């Protein structure tokens, strides 16, 4: 785990790191999720040690991290940071677990023969067939689990409308 790297990348100084941080802040724009930009990915990787130093400070304030490293709160850059920190590609782990575990969970729910569960499974299968990918199964799994445990899905999953605005 690379909790706090000891040194900056070769050729980097605190001043050059601050310059890169300011460049990143100047090109960041709020709004819907965007594709990862190679130049941003490169600069975020180059400043990893400085990011960790700021995050690990005793008096760290989250709003300061958000202000200084806004890209860190966007999915591709957060995932890169996590991969560097933990030396694990979390998306590979999730994908592998999804491939292995989800069919078993679906078989379990399908065997329950409860009308609401049967209805949800049919809807999920229809959506999966329409979209020709597995994405509906992710949300479908959450719906099935919520129904099984008699939980309100809205209590556990929040959707930011601006992510889906066109």
Backbone phi and psi for residue 20, each to the nearest 5 degrees, phi listed first: -65, -45
pLDDT for position 20: 97
| pLDDT value, residue 41 | 95
pTM reported for the whole predicted model: 0.68
Can you list the residues of the chain whose pLDDT is less than 50? Answer: 160-166
Interatomic CA distance for residues 45 and 25, integer angstroms: 15
Q: Which pLDDT score, from 0 to 100, does residue 164 have?
A: 36
pLDDT for residue 161: 44
What local confidence, expressed as pLDDT, does residue 47 receive?
A: 98
Quote the pLDDT of residue 165: 42
In sequence order, what are the residues at sequence separation of 6 or more whose Cβ sits closer than 8 angstroms to the Cβ of residue 24?
A: 40, 43, 44, 47, 69, 70, 71
The 10s digit of each residue's pLDDT in 26-47 is 999 887 766 778 999 999 999 9
Query: What is d(CA 124, CA 50) in angstroms, rounded to the nearest whole number?
Result: 44
């Amino acid at each position: 785990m690379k909790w706090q790297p000891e040194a900056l990348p070769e050729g980097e100084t605190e001043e050059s790191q601050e310059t890169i941080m300011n460049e990143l802040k100047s090109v960041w724009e709020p709004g819907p999720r965007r594709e990862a930009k190679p130049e941003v990915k490169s600069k975020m990787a180059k400043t990893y040690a400085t990011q960790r130093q700021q995050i690990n400070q005793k008096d760290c304030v989250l709003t300061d991290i958000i202000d200084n490293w806004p890209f860190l709160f966007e999915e591709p850059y957060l995932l890169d940071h996590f991969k560097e920190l933990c030396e694990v590609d979390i998306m590979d782990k999730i994908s592998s677990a999804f491939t292995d575990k989800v069919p078993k969970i679906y078989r379990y729910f399908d065997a329950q023969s409860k009308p609401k569960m049967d209805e949800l499974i049919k809807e999920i299968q229809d959506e999966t067939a329409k979209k020709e990918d597995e994405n509906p199964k992710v949300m479908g799994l959450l719906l099935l689990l919520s129904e099984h445990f008699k939980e309100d899905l809205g209590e556990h999953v929040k959707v930011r409308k601006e992510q889906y605005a066109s």
